[in-house]
Structure 1
Amino acid sequence: MRVLLTGSSGWLGRFLAPRLREAGHSVTGLDVAPGIDTDVIGSVADRACVERLFAEHCFDAVIHGGALHKPDIVRYPRQAFIDVNVSGTLHLLEAAVAHGASRFIFTSTTSLMISAAIRAGTANEAVWIDESLAPLEPRNIYGITKLAAEQMCRLIHAEHGLPVLILRTGRFFPEDDDTHRAPDGENMKANELLHRRLTVEDAADAHVLALERAPEIGFGTFILSAPTPFTRADCAALKTDATAVIARIFPDAPALYAARGWSLPERIDRVYDAGRAERVLGFRCRTGFAEQLAALRDQSPSPVTHDPTYLSPKEAG
């Protein structure tokens, strides 16, 4: 298929574009910043640019991974989020319909499911988060605009029948967390594989599969995260003594962490359940907390990339 990939210079794009080509697709990368897999420098907020690309390439499919993200809140005004995340998505959806594209994959975020209350962690137990969570009350302009874009995807599918799959990805960024500093980045990323993270490689593989399955499924929203070892029955204990829950499931985890100088989480306030992606989409992340522990046992590199120097290409100039 002829695929338009937005955000092709970004962290996901640099892993996704080669996988798409390996699967036999012809990929045109669109990004505001140059990159090895970016063919066109431009913004999805520029309707004329989007329409020109569709007219020139007659895309069969769109994978819309380009966006302003949560760290961009301190860099850009709210209007920029609306222009890129909302209007840009609309431009792509309408062009896809007008030019007869057969499918549309939208990279969304689990962040839009986290209200201020969930973020504050005031509940008596960990919040179990799956696609049925409601009402959705995003706590910042990033989440608000991604949710609005999701709703436009739903509307266009309902009105025109365009197959659309929405992938709400957990964390897979390589840089340090922009709000938390303890534990350190690599330790934190390893911990997050328990309940809210996936590797960028798994995120890319999920998009390739979604591209294949979209016409068959028609429309769907899927959380993407490493398979959690927890169950709903663990939620109360996770909020009071997560370390004990982890040790019960992975008896050697405390010793492996201690040998590395890492700390297991004392409390976990939310758990992402990616079960629907496995049941309906047929996707399960290859890498989870068990694989992280295996790397510690073997003294091999962590399966999760940690790069505290990483800077988005659009900010790197």
Structure 2
Amino acid sequence: MRILLTGSSGWLGRFLAPRLKQDGHVVTGLDIAPGEHTTHIGSVADKTCVERVFAEQGIEAVIHAGGLHKPDIARFPAQAFIDVNITGTLNLLTAARDAGHDRFVFTSTTSLMISQEIRNEMADHAVWIDENTGPLAPRNIYGVTKLAAEGLCRQFFIDHGLNTVVLRTSRFFPEEDDTLKHPSGENLKALELLYRRGTVEDMAEAHVAALEKAPEIRHEVYIISSPTPFRRQDASRLKTDAAAVITEYIPDAPALFAAKGWVLPDSIGRVYDASRAERQMGFRCRTDFAAVLDALRRGADLPFAHDPGYINPQAAG
């Protein structure tokens, strides 16, 4: 297929574009910043630009992975989020509908599911988050606009029969967390694979799976995250003694972490459940917390990317 990939210069795009090409697809990359896999410089908020790319490239399917993200809140006004994340998505959906497409994959975020109460960990247990979690109350303009864009995807399916698969991706960025200071770096990323992180490679694979399955799925929203070893009945103890729960599942975890100079968490406030994607789409992230521990046991490279110096191409520009 001739696929339009937005956000082709971003962290996900640089992994997803070659993965799509590996399957024989012709990829047209659209981004506001130049990159190895970006063939067209422009914004999805520019309807004329979107229409021109569709017409010139004979686009047959869309993976909409571009947009403004949470760190961009410090750099852009709220209107920019509305223009890019909402109007940009509408422009792409409209072009896909007019072209008679049968599949549209939208990269969303688990962030829109995190209210301020969940963010502040007000509950006396770890909040179990799946696609039925609600009511949704996004805590910032990023989440608000991503949720609105999801609504547009649903509406285009209802009104026009455009098959739309929404992937609420958990964390997969390579840079340091901009809010949490301890633990930091690789220690934090390793721990987050227990409950709210995936690798960029797995995120790319999820998009490939969604693209293939879209006509069969029709419309659905999926959380994409590393499979958690925890169960719902662990929720109370995860909040009060997470290290003990982890040790029960993986007895040598404390020793492996100590040898690395890492720490286990005292408390975990939320857990993402990505099992619906596995049940319905047949997709499961390959890299999980067990892969981290296996690497520590063997003295091998860690199975995830950590780059404190990473700068988003959009921000760099």
Q: TM-score category by the smaller chain?
A: over 0.9
What is residue 279 of structure 1 aligned with on the other side?
Answer: 279
What is residue 62 of structure 1 aligned with on the other side?
Answer: 62
Partner Cα separation in structure 2 for residue 24 and residue 101 of structure 1: 18
What is residue 192 of structure 1 aligned with on the other side?
Answer: 192
1:74-126, Cα deviation, whole Å (9 max, x unpaired): 01000000000000000000000011122100000000000000001010100
Partner Cα separation in structure 2 for residue 184 and residue 152 of structure 1: 37
2:72 counterpart SS class: helix
What is residue 3 of structure 2 aligned with on the other side?
Answer: 3
Partner Cα separation in structure 2 for residue 124 and residue 76 of structure 1: 35
1:191-245, Cα deviation, whole Å (9 max, x unpaired): 0000000000000001011100000110010000000000000000000000000
What is residue 177 of structure 1 aligned with on the other side?
Answer: 177
What is residue 295 of structure 2 aligned with on the other side?
Answer: 295
Partner Cα separation in structure 2 for residue 40 and residue 196 of structure 1: 33
Query: Any residues of structure 2 matched to 1:142-153 within 5 Å, and which?
Result: 142-153=142-153
The TM-score, its normalising length taken from structure 1, stands at 0.99
1:128-161, Cα deviation, whole Å (9 max, x unpaired): 0000011000000000000000000000110000
Q: CA deviation at 1:301?
A: 1.1
Partner Cα separation in structure 2 for residue 252 and residue 6 of structure 1: 43
CA contact (8 A) 2:5 2:17 kept: yes
What is residue 79 of structure 1 aligned with on the other side?
Answer: 79
Q: CA deviation at 1:15?
A: 0.2
What is residue 43 of structure 2 aligned with on the other side?
Answer: 43
Partner Cα separation in structure 1 for residue 285 and residue 210 of structure 2: 13
Partner Cα separation in structure 2 for residue 36 and residue 58 of structure 1: 21
CA contact (8 A) 2:177 2:184 kept: no
Partner Cα separation in structure 1 for residue 242 and residue 297 of structure 2: 21
1:28 counterpart SS class: strand
Partner Cα separation in structure 2 for residue 134 and residue 182 of structure 1: 29
**Matched residue type, 1:2:** R
Partner Cα separation in structure 1 for residue 94 and residue 121 of structure 2: 39
**Matched residue type, 1:290:** A
1:11 counterpart SS class: coil
What is residue 160 of structure 2 aligned with on the other side?
Answer: 160
Partner Cα separation in structure 2 for residue 149 and residue 185 of structure 1: 31
2:12 counterpart SS class: helix
**Matched residue type, 1:270:** R
Alignment length (residue pairs): 317
**Matched residue type, 2:90:** L
Partner Cα separation in structure 2 for residue 180 and residue 194 of structure 1: 17
Partner Cα separation in structure 2 for residue 314 and residue 70 of structure 1: 13
What is residue 205 of structure 2 aligned with on the other side?
Answer: 205
Partner Cα separation in structure 1 for residue 65 and residue 252 of structure 2: 38
Partner Cα separation in structure 2 for residue 216 and residue 296 of structure 1: 40
CA contact (8 A) 2:224 2:277 kept: yes
What is residue 239 of structure 2 aligned with on the other side?
Answer: 239
Partner Cα separation in structure 1 for residue 243 and residue 151 of structure 2: 38
2:3 counterpart SS class: strand
1:245 counterpart SS class: helix
The TM-score, its normalising length taken from structure 2, stands at 0.99
The answer to whether the aligner puts 1:216 opposite 2:216 as a matched pair is: yes
Partner Cα separation in structure 2 for residue 223 and residue 131 of structure 1: 7
1:250-293, Cα deviation, whole Å (9 max, x unpaired): 00000000000000111000000000000001100000000000
Which 10-residue stretch deviates more, 39-48 or 176-185? 176-185
1:11-53, Cα deviation, whole Å (9 max, x unpaired): 0000000000001100000000000000000000101000111
Which 10-residue stretch deviates more, 140-149 or 96-105? 96-105
Partner Cα separation in structure 2 for residue 55 and residue 241 of structure 1: 57
**Matched residue type, 1:225:** S
RMSD: 0.5
1:49-81, Cα deviation, whole Å (9 max, x unpaired): 001111112211000000100000001000000
The answer to whether the aligner puts 1:13 opposite 2:33 as a matched pair is: no
What is residue 254 of structure 1 aligned with on the other side?
Answer: 254
Partner Cα separation in structure 2 for residue 78 and residue 298 of structure 1: 47
Query: Any residues of structure 2 matched to 1:82-93 within 5 Å, and which?
Result: 82-93=82-93
